[in-house]
Structure 1
Amino acid sequence: MTTTLADARVVTPEGVHDGWLTIEDGRITHVGRGAAPGPGHGLGGRYVVPGFVDIHNHGGAGGSFPTGDPDEAGRIAAMHARHGTTTLVASLVTATLDSLSRATSALADLCEDGVLAGIHFEGPYISKARCGAHDPALLREPSVPEFTGLLKAGRGHVRMITIAAELPGALDTIREAAANDVIAALGHSDAGYEQTIAGIEAGARVATHLYNAMPQLGHRDPGPIAALLEDGRVTVELVNDGVHVHPAMLRLAYRAAGPGRTALITDAMAAAGVGDGSYGLGPLRVDVVDGVARLADGPGAGSIAGSTLTMDAAFRRAVHELGLSLPEAAEVTSLTPARVLGLADRLGSVSTGRQADLVVLTEDLRVAGVMRRGAWITEP
């Protein structure tokens, strides 16, 4: 079956043009300019952008990936899909090894079913000094044997692990991750400039939510941020929700890293798509007030605890707050994170041969329709 989307403003890596595209067997087969050569689904001049790729997401729709509940995880993925996220990595938080292993095994089933694109361990190998919304009592020093045990539970679906480079055993664990095609990310870390460079040299290739949960830039003590921004091998995650990072600092990071090394993420937790209230994030409780999630109690009470962001909102903010063009916004929400996952040859852009993961946006960049693998999730 062939589907033609006509009368669209198509956002490609090369620019924005009035045109059309055809989809067959879940893939884009043609991207054309001007009027479609035959009848099609008219979009009324609305934008077509690639489906969003979120590589750091803890939950939404009232649910949380760390519980490992398959039904809950399915609801989370469905809610984010309605907001345009067609490729989603499930992020876990610090917990006991048994809890992590059980959740990983359960989520691996959803990866095999194509609901999720992988699993991300944010903890337990992170710094107590920079643990944020993680239970400090459950943090551990990195261990290669422990890590390989978690990999076995994931059955090939563990895609990323966040590690503090300064911890004993961190560099060996980063090397082990790289050897197993798992992305090592540096974050929740008290590392200095040189320690961060050592982590990159060991194989780390992502900065977990740059600026947050790490020492800040200093003109005599540059710290991890400078090391992560200046190394062309590192992709930096940014939470563009108006809470985690000031827009000026987001623009600074973007100018340093460029669209090819900037990946917008949600870092979403259970309240995303729902609203204010009290929620769980792993073993901790989080209060959400006016859309801002903070730890409710314990040593880190008041710390930011994830976000209520969805990727469509991150896309809008990229255009309206950061001044990105539509192709640039599509790159940082789709193509670059797809590249991080090694999937840029399959998805992440509106290009011939790519998977037909598409988001239809109105003039004010609101979601009007979502297609995944050639099938409408929400039909415009």
Structure 2
Amino acid sequence: AGAVDNASVVINQGHIVNISTDSADIPRHARTLNAEGNLVLPGFIDLHVHGGHGYDVMDGTVEAVHELARHLATHGVTGFLATTVTASLDDTLAIASIVRQASAVPGPGAAILGMHIEGPYINPQRRGAQNPCCIRPPSIAEMERVIEASGNAVRLVTLAPEMPGAHDFIAYLRRRGIIASMGHSDATYEQALAALDVGVSHATHVFNAMRPFAHRDPGIIAAVLTDARPIAELIADGLHVHPGAARLLIKARGPAGVVLVSDAVRGAGLPYGCYRMGGQDIWTSENGARTADGHLAGSLLTLEVALRNVMTWTGLPLHQALAMVSLNQARELGLDSRKGSVEVGKDGDLVICSPTLQVLTTVVGGRVVSPDP
């Protein structure tokens, strides 16, 4: 669908009931938000976000998850997957339970659409900033317990498909309706294709924490660039991935094959300094979020900035680039009948942006959540 000029979007009981260019179609007693001169866009969905504004999913409190949701809403996010890092089983179970509790109570910001379990079933050689102490082979028995603790909220699991037992684990995830993603992986091209054959359908922060591309050893990256099956995450902050590489990915896969993610951490939205993540100190600056030895450790990115960056790098028009922060994510989560675009019948998840894509107002389920009502 394209843009509609000078239209009103009418939301009732949380759903879009009318989109009209006739002001007579606006109910007389409706609360109105004036978006004149601005853009009304579908709310953004972040499939990979750890923290922000001083909070982290791994803090293990309902307050932390809700405050993260509030922070995300200020940047146009209306739904997100609360994302864990590599941790002990006990810690992961505790976080899963917290996310379940946070989801059960209507929060102050973006909706919690489930969990993304990033690690611990990754390759130590490609761990990035993940804690090496807790990395272990995939375990169906463990994942059963995590899913149960979360109240069936696990939507996506990142793992290295070359690890022992990974193929059985991937098949298990698919049976449970959970997205299996390859990431933090040293898989060869052939191993990546084999993983796609058994059910992997997503790739975590492509180019980062994976075997680099070489013309005689093209690795996961070539599989993602040339195979239509995996949806590719991209951290478009200009630090994790060079703009030229980002253009390559989007050119190869098209906007429909890419999802922009923040992979943001606690320090996002706060002054530069030192913050804790996964049991270690993370330093933030204009060079991003980094460990003491200089390795990138998540980002300080927000999705409206990612969207602006990608449009600048690729020249894509807004209506094409927008799918990378909204419809593609909704489709992957099986929520595209309700979310991901501004259409009659869908949830009233909207973001009002200036023409330069500065977030002004965020609406979740017909309720203004940012700025604070």
TM-score w.r.t. structure 1 length? 0.92
Q: State the Cα distance separating 1:320 from its structure 2 match.
A: 2.4
Q: State the Cα distance separating 1:112 from its structure 2 match.
A: 3.0
Cα gap change, 1:36/1:196 in structure 2, threshold over 3 Å: closer, same or farther? farther
Kindly report which structure 2 residues correspond to 1:158-197, keeping only aligned pairs within 5 A, or say none.
158-197=154-193
Query: Is 1:50 aligned to residue 42 of structure 2?
Result: yes
Match in the other structure for 2:7: 19
Q: Which amino acid aligns with 1:372?
A: V
Q: Measure the CA separation in 2 of the matches of 1:94 and 1:241.
A: 23
Match in the other structure for 2:345: 353
Q: State the Cα distance separating 1:195 from its structure 2 match.
A: 0.6
| Native 8 Å contact 2:170 2:200 kept in 1 | yes
Q: Which amino acid aligns with 1:144?
A: I
Query: Is 1:141 aligned to residue 140 of structure 2?
Result: no
Match in the other structure for 1:302: 294
Q: Measure the CA separation in 2 of the matches of 1:126 and 1:332.
A: 26
Unaligned runs of 5+ residues in structure 2 are none
Q: State the Cα distance separating 1:91 from its structure 2 match.
A: 0.5
Q: State the Cα distance separating 1:20 from its structure 2 match.
A: 2.2
| Native 8 Å contact 2:47 2:80 kept in 1 | yes
Query: Is 1:78 aligned to residue 70 of structure 2?
Result: yes
Cα gap change, 1:278/1:141 in structure 2, threshold over 3 Å: closer, same or farther? same
Q: Which amino acid aligns with 2:290?
A: R
Kindly report which structure 2 residues correspond to 1:97-108, keeping only aligned pairs within 5 A, or say none.
97-108=89-100
Query: Is 1:131 aligned to residue 123 of structure 2?
Result: no
What secondary structure, in the 3-state scheme, does the structure 2 residue paired with 1:17 have? Answer: coil
| Native 8 Å contact 1:16 1:327 kept in 2 | no
Query: Is 1:328 aligned to residue 357 of structure 2?
Result: no
Match in the other structure for 1:31: 19
Q: Measure the CA separation in 2 of the matches of 1:128 and 1:17.
A: 51
Q: Which amino acid aligns with 2:58?
A: P
Match in the other structure for 1:212: 208
Q: State the Cα distance separating 1:146 from its structure 2 match.
A: 1.7
| Native 8 Å contact 1:19 1:36 kept in 2 | no
Q: Measure the CA separation in 2 of the matches of 1:41 and 1:277.
A: 37
| Native 8 Å contact 1:275 1:291 kept in 2 | no
TM-score w.r.t. structure 2 length? 0.93
Q: Measure the CA separation in 1 of the matches of 2:21 and 2:220.
A: 45
Q: Which amino acid aligns with 2:368?
A: W
| Native 8 Å contact 2:247 2:313 kept in 1 | no
Report the identity percentage.
38
Match in the other structure for 1:276: 272
Aligned residue among 105, 121, 129 for 2:117: 121
Q: Measure the CA separation in 1 of the matches of 2:81 and 2:291.
A: 23
Q: Which amino acid aligns with 2:250?
A: Y
| Native 8 Å contact 1:27 1:356 kept in 2 | yes
What number of residue pairs does the alignment pair up?
364
Cα gap change, 1:287/1:174 in structure 2, threshold over 3 Å: closer, same or farther? same
What secondary structure, in the 3-state scheme, does the structure 2 residue paired with 1:102 have? Answer: helix
What secondary structure, in the 3-state scheme, does the structure 2 residue paired with 1:241 have? Answer: coil
Q: State the Cα distance separating 1:34 from its structure 2 match.
A: 6.7
| Native 8 Å contact 1:64 1:280 kept in 2 | no
Q: Which amino acid aligns with 1:208?
A: T
Q: Measure the CA separation in 1 of the matches of 2:245 and 2:328.
A: 19
Q: State the Cα distance separating 1:35 from its structure 2 match.
A: 5.8
Q: Measure the CA separation in 2 of the matches of 1:143 and 1:337.
A: 27
Q: Measure the CA separation in 1 of the matches of 2:280 and 2:171.
A: 31
Q: Which has the higher strand share?
A: 1
| Native 8 Å contact 1:95 1:283 kept in 2 | no
Q: Which amino acid aligns with 2:284?
A: V
Q: Measure the CA separation in 2 of the matches of 1:78 and 1:68.
A: 17
Cα gap change, 1:37/1:105 in structure 2, threshold over 3 Å: closer, same or farther? closer
What secondary structure, in the 3-state scheme, does the structure 2 residue paired with 1:215 have? Answer: coil
